[in-house]
Amino acid sequence: MSDQTDAQLARSVALAAAEVLRDLCVAGACPDTELGDRGDKDANALILRLLHAARPDDYVLSEEAADDGLRCAARRVWVVDPLDGTREFRERREDWAVHIGLAIDGVPVTGAVALPAAHRVFATDDAPPAFAPAPQRPRMVVSRSRAHPIVLAVAEAIGAELVPMGSAGAKAMAVVQGDAEIYLHAGGQYEWDNCAPVAVALAAGLFASRIDGSALVYNCRDPLLPDLLICRREYAEQVLAAVAAATHLLP
Ligand SMILES: Nc1ncnc2c1ncn2[C@@H]1O[C@H](COP(=O)(O)O)[C@@H](OP(=O)(O)O)[C@H]1O
Ligand SMILES: [Mg+2]
């Protein structure tokens, strides 16, 4: 049992996984064809071991581990994505992340997101950032490989500049860092893709919700959580209204 706070634990586990993943990227450490699978597997094994050692009574929902559903009756569940942006990691790009989130009673209260290639980690116990005034034309980070038509329609409706990027964590942290004002996603994602990013974004003072404006709820039996909005608070109303006007583009 660790005497770290939950946020400290999330940060230290994210950093440990980040190091394992960075080491795999070193030239000659792993063939290109195996990089994605090794990254997912090695980071997952380390994260599960560290979390179980530090919090033996907690449950873990991981993208890379079997889910027997026992977590559904638990109050405290770590929701982790050992390697978010596997596609970008495989391509040896920089936009990939490690997500360590903790949901208590379904609420994403604590978490850390590491951006290993940038040697950065963001956690819910960071001091909230002082955001510079938002630019006239907001920057919207979107999936570089599968931006949904509704996301593109909303960007056009509000006059946002599109910034394509891999990884939900990398996109959410772009907003936390002030490199973008809006992250909008639709069409599919799972709890592990957004729990830690949402926890960190909320702690930074940002707005986060489903694209219909409802709360993001975690530790559901079905971990599908297909859409979300993370943005500077001053854009939330405008973006949600633009989404509502374009729902005919949703399945
Ligand atoms: N339509 C979709 N269905 C399922 N998962 C999706 C998705 N769009 C994005 N994701 C997941 O969300 C994460 C970020 O995606 P993107 O970079 O496209 O925004 C990726 O996680 P993984 O890399 O962990 O698989 C990706 O698999
Ligand atoms: Mg993911």
Provide, rounded to the nearest whole percent, the portion of the chain with pLDDT above 90.
97
Q: Averaged over 103-115, what is the pLDDT?
A: 98
Assess whether the C-beta atom of 86 lies below 6 angstroms from ligand 1: yes
49 C-alpha to center of ligand 2: Å?
20
pLDDT of the residue at 177? 97
Domains of the chain with bracketed CATH: 6-123 (3.30.540.10), 139-249 (3.40.190.80)
Q: Averaged over 15-34, what is the pLDDT?
A: 95
Assess whether the C-beta atom of 167 lies below 6 angstroms from ligand 1: yes
pLDDT of the residue at 249? 96
| Burial group, residue 73, by CB count within 10 angstroms (0-12, 13-18, 19+) | exposed
Of 202, 216, 199, which is closest to residue 106 (Cα–Cα)?
216
pLDDT per residue as tens digits for the range 152-170: 999 999 999 999 999 999 9
Does the annotation list 212 as a binding residue?
Answer: no
What is the residue with the minimal CA distance to atom 7 of ligand 1? 188
- 1: pLDDT strictly greater than 80: no
* pLDDT tier, 244 (very low <50, low <70, confident <90, very high otherwise): very high
| Burial group, residue 43, by CB count within 10 angstroms (0-12, 13-18, 19+) | buried
pLDDT of the residue at 251? 81
Q: How open is the CA angle 37-69-197, to the nearest 5 degrees? A: 55
* pLDDT tier, 197 (very low <50, low <70, confident <90, very high otherwise): very high
- 27: pLDDT strictly greater than 90: no
Does the annotation list 83 as a binding residue?
Answer: yes
Partners of residue 188 on adjacent β-strands? none
Does the annotation list 91 as a binding residue?
Answer: no
Q: Averaged over 161-181, what is the pLDDT?
A: 98
3-state DSSP helix/strand/coil % of the chain, to nearest 5 = 40, 25, 35
Cβ of 244: how many Cβ atoms within 10 Å?
A: 12
pLDDT per residue as tens digits for the range 38-78: 999 999 999 999 999 999 999 999 999 999 999 999 999 99
Q: Averaged over 101-125, what is the pLDDT?
A: 98
Q: Which atom of ligand 1 is nearest to the CA of 146?
A: 18
Assess whether the C-beta atom of 85 lies below 6 angstroms from ligand 1: yes
Of 73, 52, 84, which is closest to residue 194 (Cα–Cα)?
84
pLDDT of the residue at 16? 98
Distance CA 239, CA 113 (A): 25
Q: Averaged over 180-206, what is the pLDDT?
A: 98
Q: Which ligand is nearest to the CA of 39?
A: 1
- 123: pLDDT strictly greater than 90: yes
* pLDDT tier, 2 (very low <50, low <70, confident <90, very high otherwise): confident
